[in-house]
Amino acid sequence: MLSRRNFLKVAGSATAATALGVRTYALPVPQEAPAAPLSANDHIQLALIGAGIRGQGDTKTAIEVPGVKLVAVADCYNGRLDHSKELWGNDIFTTRDYKEILARKDVDAVIIATPDHWHKQVAVDAMKAGKDVYCEKPMIHSYPEGPEMIEAARSTNRILQIGSQRVSSIIYSKAKDLLASGAIGQLNMVNAQWDRNSSLGAWNYTVPLDASTETCDWDRFLGTAPKIPFNAEHFFQWRKWKAYGSGVAGDLFVHLFSGTHFITGSTGPTRAMATGGLRFWKDGRDVYDVMLGLFDYPQEFNLSLRVNFVDGGEESEGLIFTGSEGTMEIGNNFVSVSRTPREKEPGLMINTYTEAMQKRIRDGYKEKYPASHPSGPPAAGFEKYVAPEGYRDNYDHFQNFFASVRSRRQPVEDAVFGYRAAGAALLSNLSIERSAVVKWDPEGMKLI
Ligand SMILES: NC(=O)c1ccc[n+]([C@@H]2O[C@H](COP(=O)([O-])OP(=O)(O)OC[C@H]3O[C@@H](n4cnc5c(N)ncnc54)[C@H](O)[C@@H]3O)[C@@H](O)[C@H]2O)c1
């Protein structure tokens, strides 16, 4: 891991490289606000609710942002509360009951990284308790939760940022600028995929050896989910069941929606259809491991999404934007543009006609399109913009969150943005459930 300081050094030394026909540029890293001295009172006191894989990772990143201090952690598994103390010291307050954290006056903001079925309730409770909220994606687990969270953020005047971190990425920001500048002409299609080929990639996370009703607060974990006897796989591999997660749509499509909406400025699709199946991981899960979705956007482009957990090869994540004059690709640490300017004249297809007819057409054509010689610099064929090695959009996403906490201005990925992304993603599950095309009003954020 690069520290922020070393990372900026590396980033600063990156230079543009030019190869034959390919131009590669290093993307600049946003500068942090000038380091104003922070008194202890200026610190944002943070608590983590849901200290699992993501919650611990998020918190490590969040407290790298200057002026942020972790004071408390809530989780339903003792082992993770104990490890939180190993990571962040015995002074932090730990509890199984997140409401004890919300009652504390020394907590300004919380990270919510529980399973999806808890996001809404914890977020609403936190905002009502006066806390600002960084809530992991997908914002919602079911549709009615969206308006409730939007209303809670509005009425409590709290900051709510959703955790699709690519929305704060320098790569996505460059892609947004490129599209707006007409780099690929008129957008007509976005194809995005998230393919994996491993057991961990398919959510088979390791269950700790001491998992039991002693060490796990099973009732609290279940919350509003159907009551069933303790099941360690459900607890630690919850993504595999709809009761807690939302399948690949809520887990991964949602990132692709957030990225597409941010880059295109669209608020969401109007129609969705999806299909898929459980092809390989027949281990008792009730969600698909292969899923395809098609979405119509009112801005006259189509989105096609794919997740394949058994892709037979490399794991890959990426988006391709197709326009009338080129394509733009987003990969792991880059955005590239391949430009193909449209032809200036339509061409002739005449050789099946009589010689006389060919001549007449050719003469007319020459008059209409006199031979011209190319002038000016050749149109750039291919450009690539690369993020510096070690770049982490997650850090920038937290920086934006804490900037919002200080300025009291809602972030880009606020409750409305989060609902539009998660609401669009869940259309896929609905389409599969109903075996039908489903319609959505992206402005009004309602199913039709
Ligand atoms: N932004 C991203 O790229 C990204 C990546 C991974 C996960 N996530 C999201 O983060 C969230 C957590 O995922 P994870 O992989 O860390 O899961 P996890 O199972 O590793 O961790 C979830 C933790 O929440 C705890 N928990 C459950 N109910 C709780 C409650 N009521 N109060 C307090 N704690 C509770 C569990 O005990 C568990 O330790 C999910 O919503 C997931 O979609 C986002």
Please report the pLDDT score of residue 4 as a whole number. 42
What integer pLDDT is reported at residue 5 of this predicted model?
39
CA distance 138 to 254: 6
Does residue 73's CB lie within 6 angstroms of at least one atom of ligand 1? no
Q: How far apart are CA 416 and CA 410, in angstroms?
A: 10
Q: Helices 78-88 and 53-62 sit at what angle, rounded to 10 degrees?
A: 20
Nearest CA to ligand 1 atom 37: 76
* Beta strands across the sheet bearing 132-135: 93-95, 68-74, 44-49, 109-112, 132-135, 160-162
Q: Which atom in ligand 1 lies closest to the alpha carbon of residue 118?
A: 31
Cα 204 to ligand 1 centre (Å): 14
pLDDT of residue 39: 62
Residue 2 pLDDT: 40
Ligand 1 within 6 A of 125 CB? no
Q: Is 118 in the pocket of ligand 1 (CB under 6 A)?
A: yes
Q: Give the Å distance between the CA of 162 and the centre of ligand 1.
A: 14
Sign of CA dihedral 376, 382, 388, 392: positive
**Binding site membership of 54 for ligand 1 (Cβ less than 6 Å):** yes
Mutation to probe ligand 1, out of 56, 76, 244 (largest number of atoms < 8 A from CB): 76
In three-state secondary structure terms, 53 is helix
| 172 and 330 Cβ atoms separated by less than 8 Å | yes
Across the chain, how many H-helices and E-strands are there?
Answer: 14, 18
Ligand 1: which residue has its CA nearest to atom 21? 52
Is the CB of 163 within 6 Å of ligand 1? yes
User: How close is the Cα of 120 to the center of ligand 1, in Å?
Assistant: 13
- Picking from 109, 138, 133, 137, the residue whose alpha carbon sits closest to that of residue 123 is 133
Q: State the distance from the centre of ligand 1 to the C-alpha of 49, rounded, in angstroms.
A: 9
- Give residue 32's pLDDT: 62
Three-class DSSP category at 250: helix
Residue 203 CB less than 6 A away from ligand 1: no
Q: What is the mean pLDDT of each run of 10 residues along the chain (448 residues)?
A: 40 43 84 58 92 98 97 98 98 98 98 98 98 98 98 98 98 98 97 98 98 98 98 98 98 98 98 98 98 98 98 95 97 94 91 98 96 67 95 97 96 98 98 98 97
Nearest-angstrom CA–CA distance, 273 and 293: 6
- 94 Cα distance to chain centroid: 29
Is 195:252 a contact under the CB 8 Å cutoff?
A: no
pLDDT in the model for residue 344: 85
Is the bond preceding residue 138 a cis peptide, omega within 30 degrees?
Answer: yes
Q: Answer whether 94's CB lies under 8 Å from 68's CB.
A: no
Q: Which atom of ligand 1 is nearest to the CA of 236?
A: 19
Spell 296-321 as b/e; 16+ CB within 10 A means b: bbeeebbbebbbbbebeeeeebebbb
Q: Ligand 1 in contact with 254 (CB < 6 A)?
A: no
What's the CA-to-centroid distance between 47 and ligand 1, angstroms? 14
Sequence-distant (6+) residues with CB within 8 A of 324 are: 184, 185, 186, 188, 342
- Nearest by Cα to 397 from 173, 163, 177: 163
For residue 230, the tally of other CB atoms under 10 A from its CB is: 14
Contact assessment for residue 113 and residue 49, using Cβ atoms and an 8 Å cutoff: yes
